[in-house]
Structure 1
Amino acid sequence: MPDSLMYEENHFVVLEQNQPEQFLTTAELLEKLKLILAQRQDDVPREVQKFTSVEAQAQHLIDTYCELDVGPGNFLQWYAVRLEK
Structure 2
Amino acid sequence: MPDSIMYQEDGFVVLETDQPEQILTSQELLEKLKAILLTRQDDLPKELEKMTTVEDQAQYLMENFCDLDMGSDSYLQWYVIRLEK
TM above 0.5, yes or no, is yes
Which residues of structure 1 form unaligned runs of 5+? none
Aligned to 1:12: 12
Q: What is the Cα deviation at residue 11 of structure 1?
A: 0.6
TM-score (norm 2): 0.91
TM-score (norm 1): 0.91
1:11 counterpart letter in structure 2:
G
In the aligned structure 1, how far is the partner of 2:61 from the partner of 2:10?
15
Which residues of structure 2 form unaligned runs of 5+? none
Q: Which one is further off, 40-49 or 5-14? A: 5-14
Aligned-residue identity in percent: 62
Q: What is the Cα deviation at residue 27 of structure 1?
A: 0.6
Runs of 4+, deviation exceeding 3 Å: none
Aligned length: 85
Taking only aligned residues, the RMSD between alpha carbons, in angstroms, comes to 1.5
In the aligned structure 2, how far is the partner of 1:72 from the partner of 1:6?
33
Aligned to 2:53: 53
